[in-house]
């Protein structure tokens, strides 16, 4: 695994008890379920880390010795096929937890899309805390249940929906996954590239570009920049997710 770059010692080692309580991602994370005493114990185990765009938090096949709570930025999670093709299985944002694996090795890779920060925990220490903290155990169970539901939705997306339906669903769902970053109503921030969107939706980049262009020319969306758009006709976009052209 690539060596993590820790934040300066004044940030990483001289944290006060308010380090977690002042974290903006706490409300959207498993940390939000903890009482102050348990939160202080969790904070004592955390190692603050920063990742540059493209830098790995973990690699598929490496020893699963760490877990991460993302506090800012965004991350792509993916698997590589034997022929080198990439399937992105999800995009994670502030408040998301990464590294809940049952085996001894990671079954996927995770890389920062943009400048990203996270609390890194040693797996053994975190698991010991979970055993002593029922609230944290419940929060992790709820998060795992949510991820299972998301995986089922992704199977439906890839298995049954057309390209246009996949793009429409992606644009409607994405803002809810990044609640910490406030944006005007109807705005969708796209930190990922068109290629990454294609790898997530099981499409080609050409198909993604054509679908976005069609939504633009029909007035459903307005492209504000390469990484941001505004949904002009949300009801029409919602209808498109169900195949109603």
pLDDT score, position 5: 42
Q: Are 157 and 203 in contact (CB under 8 A)?
A: no
Mean predicted confidence (pLDDT) in 74-99: 92
Across the chain, mean pLDDT equals: 85
At residue 16, the pLDDT reads 44
pLDDT at residue 3 greater than cutoff 70:
no
In 27-75, where does DSSP find H-type helix?
Answer: 36-45
Q: For residue 225, is pLDDT > 70?
A: yes
Question: Do 111 and 54 form a contact (C-beta atoms < 8 A)?
Answer: yes
pTM of the model: 0.83
Q: How far apart are the first and last CA of the chain?
A: 46
Per-residue pLDDT tens over the stretch 186-204: 899 999 999 999 999 999 9
Report percent pLDDT > 70 for the chain: 91
Note the pLDDT tens digit of each residue in 110-151: 999 999 999 999 999 998 988 888 888 888 888 787 777 777
- What is the Cα–Cα distance from 62 to 109, expressed in whole angstroms? 9
The single-letter DSSP state of residue 60 is: T
Domains (range + CATH), the chain = 3-156 (2.60.120.10), 162-241 (1.10.10.10)
What pLDDT, in 10s, does the model give residues 6-57?
Answer: 443 333 333 444 467 678 777 778 887 788 888 888 889 999 999 999 999 9
Q: Which two tokens stand for residue 148?
A: 């299972």
| Percent of the chain clearing pLDDT 90 (strictly above) | 54
């Amino acid at each position: 695994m690539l060596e993590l770059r820790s934040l300066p010692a004044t940030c990483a080692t001289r944290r006060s008890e308010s380090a977690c309580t002042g974290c903006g991602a706490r409300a959207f994370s498993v940390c939000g379920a903890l009482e102050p005493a348990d939160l202080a114990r969790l904070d004592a185990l955390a190692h603050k880390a920063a990742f540059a765009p493209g830098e790995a938090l973990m690699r598929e096949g490496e020893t699963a010795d760490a877990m991460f709570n993302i506090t800012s930025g965004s991350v792509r999670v993916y698997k590589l096929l034997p022929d080198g093709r990439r399937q992105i299985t999800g995009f994670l944002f502030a408040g998301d937890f990464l590294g809940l694996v049952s085996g001894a090795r990671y079954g996927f890779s995770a890389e920062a899309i943009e400048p990203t920060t996270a609390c890194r925990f040693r797996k053994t220490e975190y698991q010991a805390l979970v055993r002593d903290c029922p609230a944290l155990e419940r929060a992790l169970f709820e998060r795992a249940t949510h991820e299972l539901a998301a995986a089922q939705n992704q199977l439906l997306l890839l298995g049954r929906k057309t390209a246009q339906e996949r793009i429409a669903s992606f644009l409607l769902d994405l803002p809810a996954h990044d609640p910490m970053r406030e944006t005007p109503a109807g705005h969708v921030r796209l930190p990922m590239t068109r290629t990454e969107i294609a790898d997530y939706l099981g499409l080609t980049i050409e198909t993604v570009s054509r679908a976005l262009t069609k939504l633009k020319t029909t007035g459903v969306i307005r492209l504000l920049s390469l990484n941001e758009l505004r949904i002009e006709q949300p009801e029409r976009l919602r209808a498109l997710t169900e195949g109603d052209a």
